[in-house]
Structure 1
Amino acid sequence: MSERSLVERIGDHVHGFLRDLNDQGLRVPVPRQRVFLQAIEAAGPRDATHLYWLGAATLTASPEDLEVYSPTFERWFGAVPARPVRERESPDDETPAPRGQGDEAPFTAATGGEAGLKASYSEHQRRPVFGPASEDERAVLSLLRRELPGAVPTVRSRRRRPGRRGPWIDLARACRESWRGHGEIVALPRRTRPRRQRRVLLLIDVSGSMKQHSAAYLRLAHAVVGRLDRAEVFTFGTRLTRVTEPLRARDVDTAVGSLSEVVLDAEGGTRIGVALQEFLSNPRHVTVARGALVIVLSDGLERGDCRPMEAAVRRLSLLSHRLLWWSPLACDPAYRPVTRGMSAVLGSVDALAGVRDLRTAYAQVQTLGRE
C-alpha cells in the first residue's frame, strides 16, 4: 500500500471517529476538532494510549463528555487506558500538595521577581475551596452594588415606551384618552426609546497563576449578577464554564462556595486562546458578547502558540461595545505587558488596568462611572 493511500485511510478513520462522537451525543465544536487534528499532527501519537489522552484533552470538557468519549474511542481504536484515581483533598488538610506542571508560583505585585512570566497548560480536576468573605470585603461589596448601575454604559432600547417627550405619537393612548374627553384630544401623548444598561460579560481566569485572586473576582461577579439586569459570567482555565446561575444565590458565600462543584479546572493550567475560541464558537455566547461591556480578569499568561488567543481577543473586541482587561500584574507601577500573549492582544483591548482585589475593582468601577 502506498504512503498516500495509507494517510488517506487513517484520515478517513479519524474523521469517522469524530462523526461517531457527534452521533453518540458528544457534539464537539469544529474549532476543538481542528485542535485535536493539529495535536495529532504535532505530537505524532506513539500508541493508542497516547492518542486517547490527546483526544480526551481536546475533545471533552466534562466528566459526562468523557463517559461518551471512552466507549466510542474503544470501538474505533481498541482498549481504553485506565483512568488515574485521585484522592480527594480535604479542605482541613494543611499539608501542601507537591508542585506539578499546572501549579503556578503565586504573584504578589509588591514582590516582583519572575512571577507573572510563566504559565502552564496542564489540565487536572480539583475542587477549589473558597473561604468566607471578610467584613472588609462585604463592606466593599456593598459599595460595589451601589456603584454598578450608574457605571455600566447605556444604549437606546429598541422598544418604544410611553414618555413625556419623544418623536413618536402614541396613537393608542391618544384614542383611549379621547374617549374620556368625549372625542376631544387635549394633548398628544408621546412614545420614546428609553435608555437601558448594556449587557455585561465577565470572563474570569481561575488558573493556577490566578489562585490568589480568583475568590475576589468571583465575589465581584456575584455583585454584578445580583445588581445588573443583564450580566453573564464565565470562568476559564483549561476549559470554559458558565457560572451565572450559581452566582444568583442571595448570599455571597453560598454563591461562591457552590462553584466548587461547578468549576473543575481551578488552580490548574492556562489555555486562554482555546477557552475564548470555545466561547466564540457558540452562537448563543456570541449573542451575549455583541454590544456588551466585556471585562476579562486575567494575567494574560498563555503557553504555546498565542495566535489563537490573539485572534479570539480581536474578534471579541469587534463584537463588544468595550473590551477591558483587568490584570493583577498591572497593579505594579513597573509592570509592562511584555509577555507574548499580552503584547499580542494589547492592540485589541480598549483599556488595561490593575485589579487584584475588591478594593482595586471598586476603583475601576468608579472610573467606568466617570467615563
Structure 2
Amino acid sequence: MQLGDARTGKLAGNIAAFGRTLRRAGVPVDAARIGMAQQALQLVGLERRHDVSAALEAVLIGREQDRAVFRELFDAFFRDPEIANKLLAQMLPRAEGQAEPPRQRPRVREALAPRMPQPLQPPSASDKEIDLDAAMTASELRRIRHADFNQLSASEYLLVERLVRDIRLPLPEVAARRVRAGTRGARVHWARTLRSAAHTGGEIMALRRLQRRRQRLPLLVLVDVSGSMERYARLLLAFLHAATREARHQRVRRDVFAFGTQLTDLTPAFRLADTDAMLDATSGAIEDFAGGTRLGDSLATLRQRHARRLTGRRTLVLIVSDGLDTGEPEDLARELHWLKRHSRRLLWLNPLLRFDAYTPSARGAAVLHAAADGMLAVHNVSKLQDLAAAIAAIMKR
C-alpha cells in the first residue's frame, strides 16, 4: 500500500488506520493526535524512515509505557523492502502469513491480529466487545470501573488490564534518620545560624532549623496465584507493576513474589520497564499457577532464603490473596508473626471483599486477618483507584 503524497487523502487514510491499530493495543490516540500526525509528516517529509517514526511518536505517544509498543507496531504495520530507495515511499502492511517477529508484546499481537467476523447474534452485557474510544459511553465506563474482575468477559478483561496500568500507587513516606536544612524542625542548625549571624554583625536574627528527611518505604508484595485467584492474579500483577513504576526511578526497594504451593521470586521480572514484558517473564517463571495455596510454606521459604529483603522494620508488606489457604493454620500464624515483627505494616489485599457480607471465617483467612494491620478490597478498578488513599490512612494509625 502506498503511504501517499502529503497533499492527498491517501496519507490521511493510512495514518488514521495506524491510529486505530494503536488504539487496539491500548494506546490512547484521538482524532486531534491523528490530525497533528498528518501535519507533522508534511513538515518532515517522507524520505527518511527515522524522521517519520520520530515525528509520529512525538505526536501520537503521550505515555512512557507506550513507546516500546509504538515502535514495534510501526515496524510491523509499515514494511518497506526497499529501505535504500525512499524508505517510506511504499509502506507495505504485514503480509498475511508472514513470520512473526520474535517475542512480540501481547498488546502488539492483539492489535495486529485480523478481526474475524462474528456470527450475527443479539449482543449481551457479558460478551459485548467494549473498546476504549470515543464510542464508549460514560455509563459503560462507570460499569467497567465497578465490575468485579471475576465477572468480566474476555474483551472487558483486556480493557480493564489496560485501565489498571494508568493507576498510580505512590509508596508512603516516613521520616528518615538523616536530617537536612529546613524551615521547621525541633533541632537548631547552629552552623547555618552562625553563618547567618556573621552578616548581621554577630547578632542572631533567626534560628535556622534541621528537619528530618522524608523517604519512601521499601515494598514487599506477595501475590497469590492459586486457582481461586486465577482471574485476579494477572490483572493485579499488571496493576502493581505499572502503579509502582516510580519506585524503580526513585531507587526504592521493590520485591515481588508469587505464591501458590511454592514461592517464586518475581523481582527480576518487575525490573523490566514494560508491563507486557514483565507479564511474559512472570508466566515463564511461575510453575504452580492455578494450583493450591500454601501461604505458610511460602512464608517459611521467604524467611529462610530471602529474609534480607526486609529492610529493618521499615518495609511495607502487601499480601494479595483470598485467604483460602490449605496449609496448617499454626504454621501460617507462626510465619505471619515473624513477618509482622520485621515489617512496618502488613496489609491484606483481599478480592473477596466484593461480597458485602464477607467475613474471614476460613481457617487461613482468619489467621491472616488477625495478623494484618488492615484488609483492603482490590476486586475492581474503582477499588484500585482508592487503594493509595486507603493505605495512607492505615499508615497514619
TM-score (norm 1): 0.56
Q: Of 136, 139, 144, which residue of structure 1 is paired with 2:163?
A: 139
Over 3 Å counting, the alpha-carbon distance change for 1:314 and 1:134 in structure 2 is same
Which of the numbers 381, 385, 388 marks the counterpart of 1:362?
385
Residue 275 of structure 1: how far off its partner (Å): 0.4
Segments of structure 2 that go 5 or more residues without pairing to the other structure are 1-105, 110-147
Q: Among 219, 230, 233, which residue is 1:211 paired with?
A: 230
CA contact (8 A) 1:313 1:348 kept: yes
Distance 1:367 1:108, change over 3 A: closer
Aligned to 2:282: 259
Specify the code of the residue in structure 2 equivalent to 1:162. A
Deviation at 1:222, TM superposition (A): 0.3
1:221 to 235, 240, 244: 240
User: Distance between the aligned counterparts of 1:324 and 1:165, measured in 2?
Assistant: 32
**Residue in structure 2 matched with residue 305 of structure 1 by the alignment:** 328
Deviation at 1:323, TM superposition (A): 1.7
Match of 1:155 among 151, 174, 184: 174
SS of equivalent to 1:162 = strand
- Per-residue deviation, residues 50-96 of structure 1 (Å, max 9, x unmatched): xxxxxxxxxxxxxxxxxxxxxxxxxxxxxxxxxxxxxxxxx99xxxx
Change beyond 3 A, Cα 1:239–1:170:
same
| Contact 2:266–2:285 (Cα < 8 Å) also in 1 | yes
1:220-299 to structure 2, matched below 5 A, reads: 220-228=239-247, 229-282=252-305, 284-285=307-308, 287-288=310-311, 290-299=313-322
* Per-residue CA distance 1:85-112 (angstroms, 9 max, x = gap): xxxxxx99xxxxxxxxxxxxxx9877xx
| Residue 218 (structure 2) aligns with | 199
Residue 286 of structure 1 deviates from its aligned partner by: 5.7
Listed as ranges, the matches of 1:1-371 within 5 Å are: 134-142=158-166, 144-145=167-168, 148-149=169-170, 152-171=171-190, 173=192, 188-228=207-247, 229-282=252-305, 284-285=307-308, 287-288=310-311, 290-370=313-393
Shift of the 257–175 alpha-carbon distance from structure 1 to 2, 3 Å rule, reads farther
TM-score under structure 2 normalisation?
0.52
C-alpha separation in 2, matches of 1:283 and 1:175: 48
Instruction: Give the Cα–Cα distance (whole angstroms) in 1 for the partners of residues 256 and 342 of structure 2.
Output: 17
1:127-185 residue CA offsets vs partner (Å, 9 max, x unmatched): xxxx998444333332x22xx22xx4332111111212333344555677788899887
* Letter aligned with residue 227 of structure 2: G
The answer to which of 132-141 and 247-256 deviates more is 132-141
Distance 2:235 2:178 in 1: 37
Tell me: CA distance 1:242–1:175, structure 2 relative to 1, closer, same or farther (3 Å): farther
Offset of residue 189 of structure 1: 3.7
Task: Using CA pairs under 8 Å that are at least 6 residues apart, name the structure with larger relative contact order, 1 or 2.
Answer: 1
| Equivalence for 1:45 | none
Quote the Cα distance in structure 2 between the aligned partners of 1:363 and 1:334.
20
Residue range with higher mean Cα deviation, 181-190 or 258-267: 181-190
Q: 1:214 to 1:140 in 2, by over 3 A?
A: closer
CA contact (8 A) 1:141 1:358 kept: no
In structure 2, distance between residues paired with 1:207 and 1:302: 10
The structure with the largest alpha-carbon Rg is 2
Q: For residue 215 of structure 1, report the CA deviation from its aligned partner.
A: 0.5
Cα gap change, 1:174/1:133 in structure 2, threshold over 3 Å: closer, same or farther? farther
Superposed displacement of residue 271, structure 1: 1.7
- 1:265 and 1:288 map into 2 onto residues whose CA distance is 28
Length, aligned pairs only: 243
Segments of structure 1 that go 5 or more residues without pairing to the other structure are: 1-90, 93-106, 111-130
- 1:213 CA displacement: 0.9
- CA contact 2:256–2:266 (8 Å) conserved in 1: yes
Letter in 1 for 2:230: K
Q: Is the 8 A contact 1:109 1:331 kept in 2?
A: no
Q: Cα 1:273–1:304, aligned 2, differ >3 Å: closer, same or farther? A: closer
Deviation digits for residues 306-336 of structure 1 (CA, Å, limit 9, x no counterpart): 2111211222223322222122222112323
Deviations 1:216-259 (A, max 9, x none): 11112202431233332111112222222321322221222221
Determine what percentage of the aligned residue pairs are the same residue. Answer: 33
- Sort the Cα spacing of 1:367 and 1:287 in 2 relative to 1 into closer, same or farther, 3 A: closer
Spell out, residue by residue over 1:102-126, the C-alpha distance to the aligned partner (whole angstroms, 9 max, x if none): xxxxx9877xxxxxxxxxxxxxxxx
State the alpha-carbon separation in 1 of the partners of residues 393 and 349 from structure 2: 17
